[in-house]
Amino acid sequence: MNWIRSGLLLASSGLILLTAACLAGVFGAPTDTFNHLWPVWMAGAIGLLVATLALRTLALAAATSICITLLAAIAVDTRDIPVIETGRDIRIVSHNLWGSTRAARGLVEVVEASDPDIIALQEAYNHQNPMLEALEGEYPYFIRCRWESTRIYSRLPLSGSGCLRPNHRPGEPYLDLPSSAWAEVELADGTRFMLGSIHLTWPEPLSHQGEQIDAIAQELGRAERPDLVLVGDFNAASPAHALRRMEMDWQLTRLTRHQASWPAPLPIVGIDHAFAGENWARVEIEVGPATGSDHRPLIIDLARIESD
């Protein structure tokens, strides 16, 4: 039994250090990286609590309980998200296809079932075109970034579209832009809004996600924020500080809340999101079925609102 108790002591010590790292994540990378896998740590902590109680190691159980309380406090989402229950004005399906032909076929099935107005894709490559061409009859307006993996298909007219490219301007730092397709979409009533399909790289210190967040903020300085919608794979999960940084730097509201989309067989974290300006409210956002990708799609219903 002594080796079991020693193992519990070691696990409890590790949990204490992990909890401290998650709390320190409020200051950003590198400790914020641990917050992206918060559900894993919480599940492990609950399992450890059960084990310590079963073996009546009450001191370790008390320490584990404190860690669980602190981890739970980190995950509390008190953001004020605009939500309305009236009919939607737009439905968007956003999906990272993982470069998979099977996922491309699965996406077509999701589109047929959900009937979106717009499809925003990430990790969509040329070898998937034979499957994705089935969308072009119903969605005749589309933008495919030739050197990137992001796309937008729309049944609504596009008055403009393109791909973000590094475009260094005098006086501005050179920043790495993520793979991003954009389109100016015209709604049935004639109003227009800007939509972006975004694929950020991995969080820091694994990659340079912070630089890409800055690059998007730099580009958005020339956009009309109230009408803007950004969807895609942001490689960041709640309660990571990186998501709050995106909201603050981009001056947009994240409309997703604890909706797990990855990994697809058993989603535990939500790294796919929707951000929008003040002229938009969430009607409903659902996680779709598995398609063969490592992500599940998001089905995003939004409504226009009058901002003050």
CATH number, residue 234: 3.60.10.10
Which of the listed residues 46, 75, 104 is the one where a domain comes to its end? 75
Residues 225, 266, single domain; the answer is: yes
- Domain assignment of residue 82, yes or no: no
Residues 99, 218, single domain; the answer is: yes
Residues 101, 61, single domain; the answer is: no
Residues 70, 190, single domain; the answer is: no
Residues 29, 162, single domain; the answer is: no
Residues 231, 108, single domain; the answer is: yes
Which of the listed residues 13, 43, 75 is the one where a domain comes to its end? 75
User: pLDDT confidence of 206, banded at 50, 70, 90?
Assistant: confident
The one-character DSSP state at 158 is E
pTM assigned to the model: 0.93
- Domain assignment of residue 84, yes or no: no
Its sign, for the CA torsion 239, 269, 149, 231, is negative
Residues 149, 226, single domain; the answer is: yes
Taking phi over 0 as left and psi of -120 to 50 as alpha, with beta for the rest, 115 belongs to left
Q: Does the structure show a pLDDT above 90 at 298? A: yes
Residues 24, 140, single domain; the answer is: no
Give the whole-number percent of the chain exceeding pLDDT 70: 95
- Domain assignment of residue 85, yes or no: no
Report the largest interatomic distance among the alpha carbons of the chain, rounded to a whole angstrom.
73
- Domain assignment of residue 258, yes or no: yes
- Domain assignment of residue 80, yes or no: no
- Domain assignment of residue 243, yes or no: yes
Model pLDDT for residues 167-204, shown as the tens digit of each residue: 555 555 556 788 899 999 999 889 999 999 999 999 98
Residues β-bridged to residue 250: none
> What six digits make up the tokens of 32?
């914020």
Residues 129, 249, single domain; the answer is: yes
Model pLDDT for residues 228-246, shown as the tens digit of each residue: 999 999 999 999 999 999 9
User: What pLDDT, on the 0 to 100 scale, is given for residue 121?
Assistant: 97
Model pLDDT for residues 114-124, shown as the tens digit of each residue: 999 999 999 99
- Domain assignment of residue 9, yes or no: yes
The one-character DSSP state at 269 is B
Of 145-149, 186-190, 211-215, where does mean pLDDT reach its minimum?
145-149
Residues 61, 205, single domain; the answer is: no
Residue numbers of the domain that contains 38: 2-75
Pairing of strands 158-163, 118-122: unpaired
- The C-alpha torsion from 257 through 261 and 263 to 265, rounded to 10°, is 130
C-alpha distances in Å from residue 299, one per residue of 91, 152, 282:
7, 14, 11
User: What distance in Å separates the CA atoms of residue 276 and residue 224, rounded to the nearest whole number?
Assistant: 11
- Domain assignment of residue 99, yes or no: yes
User: What distance in Å separates the CA atoms of residue 172 and residue 226, rounded to the nearest whole number?
Assistant: 24
Q: In total, how many domains does the chain have?
A: 2
Which of the listed residues 22, 50, 75 is the one where a domain comes to its end? 75
Q: How many CA atoms lie within 13 A of 230 on its CB side?
A: 27
Residues 14, 138, single domain; the answer is: no
Residues 67, 98, single domain; the answer is: no
Across the chain, mean pLDDT equals 92
Backbone angles phi and psi of 94, in degrees to 5:
-115, 130
User: What distance in Å separates the CA atoms of residue 78 and residue 238, rounded to the nearest whole number?
Assistant: 12
If one compares 166 and 65, the residue with the highest pLDDT of the two is: 65
